[in-house]
């Protein structure tokens, strides 16, 4: 069963309100946590794409992809 647009909007609204209540420090820490979560998901995807890769290879591929993202975004 698909969520209704009303439910999706309600969840989004709650997330925005929760973010607005956060202090600067909480937002800063949340950003670091989000980055860690994204890196973990990317590493999981790499493991799926390259099932024979060891952890060093996974980390190297992740690093290469992060560098590529930075270049695409125009970051140093």
Q: What is the CA radius of gyration of the chain?
A: 17
pTM of the model: 0.70
Q: How far apart are CA 52 and CA 50, in angstroms?
A: 6
The tens digit of pLDDT for each residue in 17-74 reads 999 999 999 999 999 999 999 999 999 999 999 999 999 999 999 999 999 999 999 8
- Residue showing tokens 């024979």: 52
Place of tokens 């975004």: 73
Q: How far apart are CA 76 and CA 73, in angstroms?
A: 9
Distance (Å, whole) CA 15 – CA 20: 9
- Is there a contact between 48 and 33 (Cβ–Cβ < 8 Å)? no
């Amino acid at each position: 069963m698909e969520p209704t647009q009303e439910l999706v909007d309600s969840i989004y609204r709650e997330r925005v309100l929760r973010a607005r209540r956060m202090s600067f420090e909480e937002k800063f820490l949340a950003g670091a946590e989000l980055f860690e979560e994204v890196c973990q998901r990317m590493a999981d995807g790499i493991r799926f794409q390259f099932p024979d890769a060891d952890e060093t290879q996974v980390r190297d591929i992740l690093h290469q992809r992060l560098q590529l993202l930075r270049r695409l975004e125009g970051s140093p």
